[in-house]
Amino acid sequence: MEGFGPYISVFLISMVKFLGGPALGPPLGLHVIETTILSTLGMMTTVISISSFGDNFRRFLNRVFRRDKRLFSKRNRRFVVFWRRFGLFGVAFLTPVFFSPVVGSLLVNAFGGAKHKIYLYMLFSALFWSITLGGVSSSIVDAIGF
Q: Domain limits of the chain?
A: 5-144
pTM to 2 decimals? 0.82
pLDDT tens series, the chain, 146 aa = 568 999 999 999 999 999 999 999 899 989 999 999 999 999 999 999 988 887 777 677 667 776 666 667 787 788 788 888 888 899 899 888 888 898 888 888 877 778 899 999 999 999 999 999 988 988 888 888 76
CA distances from 49 to 52, 54, 70, 116 (A): 5, 7, 27, 13
Q: Are 134 and 32 in contact (CB under 8 A)?
A: yes
Give 84's Cβ-side CA count (13 Å radius).
Answer: 6
